[in-house]
Structure formats: structure tokens, C-alpha cells
Amino acid sequence: MSVDFSTDPTAQGFFAPMRFEADIEDCETQGEIPPELNGSFYRTCLDRRYPPRYADDTPYNADGAVDMFRIANGNVDFRTRYLRTARYTAERAAHRALFGRYRNRLTSDPSVAQLSHNTGNTTPLLFNGRLLCLKEDSPPMAVDPNTLETLCEWDFDGQMTARTFTAHPKLDPRTGELIAFSYEARGDATYDIAVFIFDAQGKLKRQWWFKSPVLSMMHDMAITDRHIIIPTTGMVTSRERLDAGLIHWTYDSSVPCHVAILPRDGSGEVRWFQGTPDQAMLLHTTNARTEGDRVILDAPVASANFHPYFPNADGSGFDVAGVSPNIRRWTFDLSSTRTDWDEEILFDGIRATSMVRIDDRFLGQPFRYSYILAVDPKMPFDRARGGNLSVRVANAWWRFDHANGTIDRAYVGSTHGLAEPQFVPRHRDAPEGDGWVIGVANDFSQMRSELVIVDAQQMQRGPVARVKLPFRLHTQVHGWWVAG
Amino acid sequence: MSVDFSTDPTAQGFFAPMRFEADIEDCETQGEIPPELNGSFYRTCLDRRYPPRYADDTPYNADGAVDMFRIANGNVDFRTRYLRTARYTAERAAHRALFGRYRNRLTSDPSVAQLSHNTGNTTPLLFNGRLLCLKEDSPPMAVDPNTLETLCEWDFDGQMTARTFTAHPKLDPRTGELIAFSYEARGDATYDIAVFIFDAQGKLKRQWWFKSPVLSMMHDMAITDRHIIIPTTGMVTSRERLDAGLIHWTYDSSVPCHVAILPRDGSGEVRWFQGTPDQAMLLHTTNARTEGDRVILDAPVASANFHPYFPNADGSGFDVAGVSPNIRRWTFDLSSTRTDWDEEILFDGIRATSMVRIDDRFLGQPFRYSYILAVDPKMPFDRARGGNLSVRVANAWWRFDHANGTIDRAYVGSTHGLAEPQFVPRHRDAPEGDGWVIGVANDFSQMRSELVIVDAQQMQRGPVARVKLPFRLHTQVHGWWVAG
């Protein structure tokens, strides 16, 4: 029973799993790390230890690993660790995969039927002294932010009673509150949604429980200073689907988008809006704000299935258009009884990815810039080396100016793919956009990964510094910056 | 003061340093690991943590790392660790290189003038429960053979009083004795040679001290059941050279080879033989035996400088011929007063490397097969990816049949370079040559290293199994197999 990934098309070339942990002191660096850049950049990543039990499983069901680039005084130290989940421990003892298709416990080995399938592989976020590594099908995995040692699956001292927890909670930069939601919150294929507000000390301040009109993936949310916004998608499931042993999700192009909006202060109940099916693939939000009675949400939104491993419900093949959203502005009028909303397309004609970030100091407030991962067709990509993926690898970071509609572009090299950009302000009180865009670039020519640092106000200059690792890194989902 | 290897031509592409430690459980495997293959394969490797203080320093002065492939029940676990030498510790604290040119302490930072410059980067060898990691300029580094934790610099409980210790001591397979020598044994640029015999329990049984006729590199030795054989080379040094701050060695093509032969039983003194300058680049021995009054040594011997970083004394440029020895048989007649010896060229016309091994159960005795690393000109090599080396990367293992003069060849792939072969017998009592040739192959197309396993009696079939690591490995010098 040997470990052999050679028949897995998602595990070839640069995308072969790492399967090791490492520390690197005094990382090799070209260029100069800005002396003001001081903090830790965390990434949660996909890294299968054992070949999947089912060839049609999604790479998003890989084991979770967390990386840390610690930057201080122009020097970078690197560390990567697997999350020691129940799944990691059980499969390590068995020397093979025991967990089955993504989020379908009926496809797992019976020996692990009662264990958490948490991978914690989606988003890292520091809250109240713990690095939370999040996967939306499970509670947070709590990790020591210095050692990356896994602490436990974390229920906020028993305050968080849902079975799941979003990978995209929002940390309010003004109040320090953590605002989160859970879907399928009472277990697989339940329509329950829970919403939680924790204060900066981790005390549960308010919660809501209500039902969703659809049983769909709800990957991200948004907040404003007054509201919480949670959209549904066309990526749906059902009890029957799970009982049939299928992967959790299927994309139903007839299902419209719904948006839940709640007042943060508890002054009212959830209000549901209903859009159209071509609005039903919002994976990540850019930012939102409340202006009077209007809630305004900016986000990349696609009109089709974003993931080839989640099949279309109508049996049609995967269409790459689903991974290429355009940037939309949705305006909800809370003063009227309308259940739909107004949509405006921003940056007309642009197709990016859904991997968008902002200067997090402006979360929930008026803002000007967003930073997005993009697939620039002008840049070459060595598909043979990158593996047999059905989509091109992203190779550019774009800065959107939401005030004047312009785009600034950063490339890091013709042989490099990129992960999600992370904005880091120059200092705590720097104006919006004054700082760096950092993130990992994958050099396919050398099969090495780099942390690259770009001046956010001079994107076109490309990296001012490159921190070169001696190996390929695993595929990042999301990253997180912690200053100081 | 950032770490930047970009200007070091020896640290590019596949030859960039690793600079990390890792463990991999249940290594990815293609093909089937022979179930009889049970033991640990150790490798000592070159892996600079910090860019060298001098651009003309030799890669052989890199920090030492030790790798372990643990093979059992068709499964392989891998571990790599740096040797925690005094140099490692001091440079880690300083975050930069402190030690200067190879084996010239006058070129080091004054803060480390009194510290050992031991790197332990040349040969691993298990003796009396300790994994000895050897570098000929220093005493052994003792390492835990299970954890690879560095224990100490080891003087055999005070019995080994020389300042240096060969990287190629011989473990007599019949008696369990360890037979070793030291040159520059009383310190840099001293003519003293010491020879030691330890019994299987590590007790010093006999020692000799005498002077060398030349102050030269003496990298390897040979034993027979009755004799110890130690050749000198044309790679020389001097006090003046060291005082001038130069790298330890220079190749003097006018210096003849000398060979010391001693009776193991202490029944006589050292006897010196003198050959010619074109015999003065014996780096490694194949094997030796005593037949009556004749001592017969087989070895790859070159006629010129083997290393571009050790300059020629006459100022001439590096000639690649020096790294391409032919296989020679030297016969010393102890019954006569002749001070020279007879030379026969084996495997006529063949140019290999000096990286030769045998079935170690036949060390010091009549034998039939040797296994050598070779540069096969028919095989392609991607120089750009491999780095700007002045010599081609070895890409084949050849089995020499010393009985009938034939050669069997193993290749592992058109994009693969190879490290030294290691013969592993099928079982303890298998006939000579019945077993496997194992070793590391470097896949330049994927920038990943593999442990490959070849049936020694079917070399031309190529690997029966490949154990694929997720990263490039550092450059091995020598390897060592420990059964069970």
C-alpha cells in the first residue's frame, strides 16, 4: 500500500504535495526588505499527506498546513506545519487516507465516522491570542501563532454551539469585534444559519439562528458599521445527494442568489433579498458599507460554477467562465420593501479571480482600493510544469481604484504564478493604500516559491524584494497579516 | 546583511542550498520496494547555511548535513538534519558565515579562531553504536543513528589523539575492526601521519605515528587482511600557503605519488613506495588484497587536479581530465627492495569518476564487482537548470566485473543526475553481487530528488522502484548502508 500520487492530475509538477514541515532561518533574500515591514504573514494551504480515497475528490479537501513568514529588521524566518487535526492523526496512524469525499462522511472509512473531518485549510486569522485556521465545514482549529503548534478544535469556550463556522469571519477594525456565521449549522444538509458577534475579548455578545431559503455554499460575508450581509450561492447540496455518496456540492444554475442582511445591534431580524441565478456565484466579498438606508456591497461575482470538482447539476461540463468573475456593486435599499437590489458592473470588461483583499483597516467603511489576483493572458505559463490543471495559473496582482475606475498591475516574472495578495500598511496610521502588497509567487522555472514584496503605490515596478525559499510551497487558499 | 546566494555559481539551480531540515513519513513511491530491503541508507551532504566569506572557497567547505532513508516492509521514511558543529552554532548566532576559506583558519573571523572548523560533511559510517560523520580535517562528528541528533566531536573516549581523522576509515567485515589514519595529524601543515586500529568494541588496539614525504591530501586508504595502504596525492599545501591566506590545497603536477604500506599486525614499520606524478590523483580506492608477498590495489586514478576550486600550482587552468580517472591495478612486491610498483589499466579506455564502491562484505579480500558513478556522454543534461558547473553531472551507474572486464550500465532517466552508488546485498549470506544498487537521483525536470533502487544483476533494467521526495536534496558526498 505505497503512497503514489502519479495518477492524480491535481498533484503534478508544482502542485505535487509537500508532505513535510520545515523551518528556515534568515531566508535567502534579493532586494531589500523594507525596514518598516514588521510582522507575521500567515497562510493556510492545501497539502495532502495521502492520496485521496476517491479520484473525483476536490483538492479543497486536502490536509491543512499553515505557513508563517516572520519579518523583522529586514530579515525573514519561515516555518510551515501541518495542522494536527483528528483526521491528520488518524490517517498518520493508518498510513493512508481514511476520510472520503469532501464533506460526505458516508464515504469515509467506518473507523473515522465519528471523528471531525476538519482540515482547517482555508483561512488563518489571529483573534484574542489564537491563530484560528478555518474551514467552513467545521469549528476553527486553534493554533499557537508563534510555534504553529495545533492547540485544539475551538468552540470559543463553549460559546459557539454551531457545528460549522465560516472561513471568512470579519474582524471589525474599529471595535475589535469578530463577526461570523455558520451554515449547515446544525449538521450536514441542515438549513440552519447562525450568526455570532464576539467582543474583542472573545466573549459572545450576540447570536442569531434562522433558516436559509436554499441549502447552498455560503463562503463569505460582509460587514458594515451597522449591518451584516450573507449571500447564498448556486452551489447546492441535499440529504439525498449525501446519502448517494456524492461529493458535497453540485452547481445548480437555476438557483438564484439570496442575500441575508441583519442589523449588528440586534434591533431587527434577518431580512432576505432575492436576486437572479447569474448573481449566484459570489465566493468572496470585497467590502461593504452602509450609507443611510442603503447597504452597498462590492464583490467579484461570477455567473457559473467556479470549481471543476463540483459538478454541474444539469450534467453540463465545466465552463471556465465560472472562475472569472467581474466586479459588481450591489445596492440594497432597506427603506423600501423591494426584495431585489440594484447591480452595477465596476471596472467594465475586466475578468479577474475571486481572490480579492482590501486594506483591512477600512473593513466595513468607505474605501478606495482593492487588490485582486488575476490571470493576465499576456503572461506565459508553462502548463506542463504547472500540472494538468483545467485553469490557467494566476500571474498578476491588480490594484483596483474604486474611486476612479483605474487599474494598476504588478507582475513578478514570466515564469511565476501568484497566490492571493495581502495588503500591509506602511504603519498603523498610514493613509489608505500606503504600504505593500505581499504574497507568495511560485517560480515554475526553478520549482521554488518566493515571498514577494511590492510597493502598493508603485505596482508596475514589481517586487522591491524577493524572499526565496529553497522549495515549492503547497497551494495557498488565504493569507493573513499580523503586525508587530 | 541579507542572505543572498545569487552571485555564487555553485549555488544555482539544482545546486542551490537546502537550508532546511525535514522528516517525511511514508515517502511517495513508484514501483515496488523489494521486501528484503531492510535498513538505513545514510548520506553526508554539502549544504551551506550562509554564503561563503570568500567567493573562491570550495563547495567542499559547505556545512554538513546528514540524510537517512529508513527502509522496511516496502516503506521508506526520510529524515535530514544539519550537523550541529561548533561552526553551525557560531554562524547561526551570528546570522552569517564566520569561517573562511577551506582549512585555513587565518581566513576566519577572529571570533572563531579557536573553534573547530569541522563540517562532518564527507562520509557517514556506523561504528559501535554511533553514526560517525567524517571530514578529513577534523575528528569524527558523532551522531545518533536514529534521530540524527548531533552528539559531539568524538575522540574515541580520548584514545584518538590526532587532530584529524580520515573520511575513509575501513571497517573490516571479518573482524569488525575500524582501521583509520590521520594526516596533518599534529595540526595544519604538519607532516605527521597517524594510523589507528580500533577493535569492534571501540578499544584502540594499535597505533603508528610517522612522517609523510610530502605534505599532501590523503583522502582514502585501503586494507587487506594483512596490510594497510595509504597513498599521497599531488594536491599539496604548505605553511607559507596558509600564512598567505590561500585555500588549503594547490595541485602540483610535479609531485609523484607515494604509497605507505604497513603490516596490520604490528610486525613491521611503514614502508614507502614512490610512483610518478601521473599516478598522483588517487582520490578513492576500490579494494585491495594481499596475495603472498604482493599487495594488489585497484582504484580509479586520475593524472591531474580533480577540483577547479583547488588551483594548479603552475598557474595553468583547470583541465576536466582530472575528474575522469581510469581504473588502475597497482601491484606492490613486498619481497623485493623495489620502491616503485607495477601498474595495469583495467577496463581500457573507460573514464569514470572516482566515486566507486564495492560489496563491503568483500573489503580487503578478493572480489569481483565494483560499482561506480559515471558521466555517460550519450545522456543529455540540462546545464542551465543544473547550474553553472564546469563539469557535467554524472548520470549513470556502471558495474565493473573485475573478473572478465565487462561493464553493465544503469540509467535512471534522461533528466536525472546521480550520486554515488551503494551496494546492498540481498541478505547477509547472499553471494557477491546478489542485491541492489541504491542511491539518490536528481530529477532536473521536476527539481526533485529520488532514492532509486536497481537490481545489481540487472543494471540495464534501470530502477525497480523510485522513492520520490518532494524537494531537491543537497549534494551528497558519500553514503553508507546499515542493514536491519
pLDDT single digits (tens) A319-344:
877 788 999 999 999 999 999 999 99
pLDDT attached to residue B1: 63
Closest C-alpha to B454, from B402, B405, B406, B398: B398
Q: Is A267 strand, coil or helix?
A: coil
Q: Per residue in A221-271, pLDDT tens?
A: 999 999 999 999 999 999 999 999 999 999 999 999 999 999 999 998 999
> Which residues does B contribute to its contact with A (CB < 8 Å)?
2-6, 13, 16-30, 32-33, 49-50, 74-75, 92, 95, 446-448, 470-472
Other CB atoms closer than 10 Å to residue A174's CB: what's the count?
10
Distance of CA B255 to the CA centre of its chain: 23
Inter-chain contact A19–B2, Cβ cutoff 8 Å?
A: no
Contacts of B72 in chain A (CB under 8 A): none
Task: Give domain status of residue B117, yes or no.
Answer: yes
How many A×B Cβ pairs under 8 Å?
90
- Name the pairing type of β-strands A294-302 and A281-282: antiparallel
| Closest CA in chain B for residue A23 | B20
Domain that holds residue B160: 9-277+371-483
Out of A5, A20, A447, whose CB is closest to B447?
Answer: A447
Residue in chain B lying closest to A21 (CA): B22
B114 to chain A nearest CA, in Å?
Answer: 25
For A16, the closest chain B residue by CA position comes to B470
Q: Which residues of chain B have a pLDDT value below 70? A: 1, 377-392
| CA pair distance A305, A319, nearest whole angstrom | 7
The structural domain count of chain B equals 1
Q: Is residue B108 part of a domain?
A: yes
Kindly identify which residue of chain A lies nearest to residue B7, measuring between CA atoms.
A30
pLDDT of residue A236: 98
Q: What chain B residue is nearest to A30 in terms of C-alpha separation? A: B4
Residue B223 belongs to what H/E stretch? strand B222-223
Contacts of B388 in chain A (CB under 8 A): none
Beta strands in A383-447 (DSSP E): 396-401, 407-410, 416-418, 422-425, 435-443
Q: Say which of B19, B24, B50 has its CB closest to residue A24.
A: B19
Average pLDDT over every residue of A28-43: 97
- Which residues of A fall within a CB distance of 8 Å from B75? 2, 95
Kindly identify which residue of chain B lies nearest to residue A28, measuring between CA atoms: B3
Question: In this complex, which of A3, A95, A470 lies closest to B17 when CB atoms are compared?
Answer: A470
Contact residues on chain B for A17, CB-CB shorter than 8 A: 470
Q: How far is A75 from chain B (nearest CA, A)?
A: 7
Q: Between residues A213 and A113, which one has the greater pLDDT?
A: A213
B27 to chain A: which residues are within 8 Å by CB? Answer: 3
Helix (H, G, I), strand (E, B) or coil at A258: strand
Span A104-148, pLDDT tens digits: 999 999 999 899 999 999 999 999 999 999 999 999 999 999 999
CB contact under 8 Å between B446 and A92, yes or no, is: no
- Sequence-distant (6+) residues with CB within 8 A of B320 are B390, B391
When CB atoms are compared, the residue of A4, A28, A32 closest to B30 is A4
Which of B4, B24, B28 has its CB closest to that of A5? B28
Q: Is residue B336 part of a domain?
A: no
DSSP state of B432: T
Return the pLDDT at B381: 52
Report chain A residues whose CB lies below 8 A from the CB of B33: 2
- What is residue B458's predicted lDDT score, i.e. its pLDDT? 98
Judge contact between A412 and A462, C-beta under 8 A.
Answer: yes
Residue B291 lies in a domain: no
Taking CB atoms and an 8 Å cutoff, what residues of chain B touch A37? none
Strands A258-263 vs A227-231: parallel, antiparallel or unpaired: antiparallel
Residues forming beta bridges with residue A116, ordered by sequence position = none
Q: SS3 for B208?
A: strand
> Residue A166: its pLDDT value, please?
98
Strand B435-443 versus strand B422-425 pairing type: antiparallel
| Nearest residue on chain B to A471, alpha-carbon basis | B471
Calculate how close chain B gets to A18, using CA atoms only, in Å. 6
Report, as an integer, the average pLDDT of A428-446. Answer: 95
Q: Which residues of A touch B81 (CB under 8 A)?
A: none
Chain A residue numbers with beta carbons less than 8 Å from the beta carbon of B20 are 22-24, 470-471
B385: in domain: yes
pLDDT at A413: 85
Question: Is B4 within 8 Å of A471 when comparing Cβ atoms?
Answer: no
How far is C-alpha B245 from the geometric centre of its chain's CA atoms?
26
**What's the pLDDT score for residue A392?**
64
Q: How close A67 gets to chain B, by Cα (Å)? A: 14
CA distance B224 to A272: 89
Interface of A with B (CB under 8 A): 2-6, 13, 16-30, 32-33, 50, 74-75, 92, 95, 446-448, 470-472
Cβ-in-10-Å burial (0-12, 13-18, 19+) of A185 comes to buried
The answer to whether B20 contacts A470, with C-beta atoms less than 8 Å apart, is yes
Phi, psi of A80 (to 5 degrees): -135, 140
Predicted pLDDT at B387: 47
Please tell me the predicted confidence (pLDDT) of residue A380. Answer: 53
How many alpha carbons lie under 13 Å from residue A427 in its C-beta half-sphere?
3
A92 vs B contacts (CB less than 8 Å): 25
Compute the mean pLDDT over every residue in chain A, rounded to the nearest whole number: 95
Give the per-residue pLDDT at B390: 42
- Cβ–Cβ < 8 Å for A369, A358: yes
Q: Is the pLDDT of residue A389 over 50?
A: no
Spell out which residues of chain B touch residue A448, defining contact as CB-CB under 8 Å: 16, 447
User: How would DSSP label each residue in A15-47?
Assistant: GS-----EEESS-EEEE---TT--EEEEEEEE-
- A164 vs A135: CA distance, rounded Å: 8
In a domain, B356, yes or no: no
Of A22, A33, A472, nearest to B21 by CB-CB distance is A22
Q: Is 0.90 topped by the overall pTM?
A: yes
d(CA B121, CA B107): 20
Chain B neighbors of A11, CB-CB under 8 A: none
Could you tell me if residue B48 is inside a domain? yes
Q: Residue A388 pLDDT more than 80? A: no
In contact, A302 and A321? CB cutoff 8 Å: yes
Q: Tens digits of per-residue pLDDT, B362-393? A: 999 999 999 999 987 665 554 444 444 444 68
